[in-house]
Structure 1
């Protein structure tokens, strides 16, 4: 096969098209991309390697998808943000029992929590996150693996989450022990999502959970988002990689919310 687009300019254009298609459909195989771009599988693999090295994409079971965090991966401080997400996720994983039923939110910390689930975890995972679904699909297919409950709906771009009426309808008949909420922002009023559609799904998952655990790296206290999800007194616990700002910490203490600090 002769590459239709070649050279450095062609490579840049190809990679931009790859990212555009992944934002549209979530996950594609190498064969799909080679066919759509009119290039060889080897060329696609080279492009994907470049994109993975720069943090734009992540290899998943059955193909390639956008890296969690999407278009934000190249902003200053992104590496530190990912390290904070991993610290919080590892501490949160200690709160998960081997046979628990949990709901994982869409977002970078929830994705890292899915990665950090212990090897002996055989419980159930409910999620509307496409990256989490693809990450756990292979484990869920194993005889001693977890059960994966996938919530359908309309795919959003930034967090690769499924939202909409189909998603909220699917939540209504479920129950989990713990919902791990990956908020886009946190302040004295509560937790926030980037869109009202995501906020509705997060509220629905909180309603079916016995406990709601907020995953809150340091950036959650400085970022902002428009859609209020839940007030702080709805939370059972917060997992952070440092102490929250004093007013938030005091509010959590008044609400009786447990605080777990990741070392």
Structure 2
């Protein structure tokens, strides 16, 4: 069977460019011209048209997604559920107006960034690219980006460079949003992300679990920390009995965000 050729018409090419950018983050003009088998002038024309719609940002030698598209590509609006928003609003209510806080990767970190009140003038540390995009556009206060190797599955930075950036910092509160939680601890989907989350736990005076029921029903392979590193928890509903008992043993009484 013959493999399908590259898209030929302008609408098809531009759709292909957007889809590929959501996966790889950046595409050079030269690479696009080669893959799509058109001239670089044609590619520049496509990119300028995409930039005019607010979906692509032209950078030196190529293009990346515009901030709005980055946010949507990383965490579609359907992932920001009402339950997540309720937990995020409750968590944001725990933040002092001049606090230094850490936001975790994932939809919950973005939801908390959005829920911070206008009076917040403190500092936010985060390795979440969508949270950084939102905070630098829409919020007052300082933002510290914890850069490093980009992990597309979480739209976040991980690895030794990220961990080195964390090492000399300090925060009042880390809002940790793990992929899974059980009576033994908090879990991430990858060892690289779990390693960054452990470093963030180490620099925070308080570690607040922010989670919806999904985290209690999911498993993940990489242990971040045991439950005794938590100082508080905010959930959309009461955790399962065994987990609630385990949290109680370490002095954490989950706060259930009101409807």
TM-score by length of 1: 0.79
Gap regions ≥5 residues in structure 1: 49-57
What does the per-residue CA deviation read over 1:189-239, in whole Å, with 9 as the maximum and x for residues that have no partner?
A: 111111111001000000000000011111111122111101111101111
3-state SS in 2 of match to 1:258: coil
For 1:68 and 1:95, the matched residues in 2 are separated by 29
Q: 1:241 aligns with which of 227, 236, 241?
A: 236
1:163 and 2:158 matched: yes
Mapping 1:19-30, distance limit 5 Å: 19-25=19-25
Q: State whether residues 26 and 66 of structure 1, in contact with CA within 8 Å, keep that contact through their aligned partners in structure 2.
A: no
User: In structure 2, do the counterparts of structure 1 residues 156 and 101 end up closer, same or farther at CA, with 3 Å as the change threshold?
Assistant: same
Q: Structure 1 residue 64 and structure 2 residue 63: aligned?
A: no
The residue number in structure 2 matching 1:137 is 136
TM-superposed CA distance for 1:87, in Å, is 1.1
TM-fit CA distance, 1:259: 1.3
2:141 aligned with 1:153: no
1:30-179 map, 5 Å: 36=43, 38-39=45-46, 41=48, 60=67, 64-67=69-72, 70=75, 73=76, 79=78, 82-139=81-138, 145-179=140-174
Q: CA 1:110–1:240 in structure 2 vs 1: closer, same or farther (change >3 Å)?
A: same
5+ residue gaps, structure 2, are: 1-6, 33-40, 56-64
TM-score (norm 2): 0.80
User: How many residues in Structure 1 have an aligned counterpart in Structure 2?
Assistant: 233
Tell me, in whole angstroms, the C-alpha distance in 2 between the residues paired with 1:35 and 1:257.
Answer: 59
**Hey, what's the Cα distance between the residues in 2 that align with 1:226 and 1:41?**
43
Task: Output the CA distance in 2 between the equivalents of 1:96 and 1:26.
Answer: 35
Whole-angstrom distance in 1 between the partners of 2:152 and 2:196: 15
Larger radius of gyration: 2
Q: 1:146 to 1:44 in 2, by over 3 A?
A: closer
1:52 corresponds in structure 2 to: none
- Aligned-pair distance for 1:104? 0.6
Please give the root-mean-square deviation of Cα atoms over the aligned residues, in Å.
Answer: 3.0
Query: CA distance change for structure 1 residues 244 and 42 in 2, over 3 Å: closer, same or farther?
Result: same
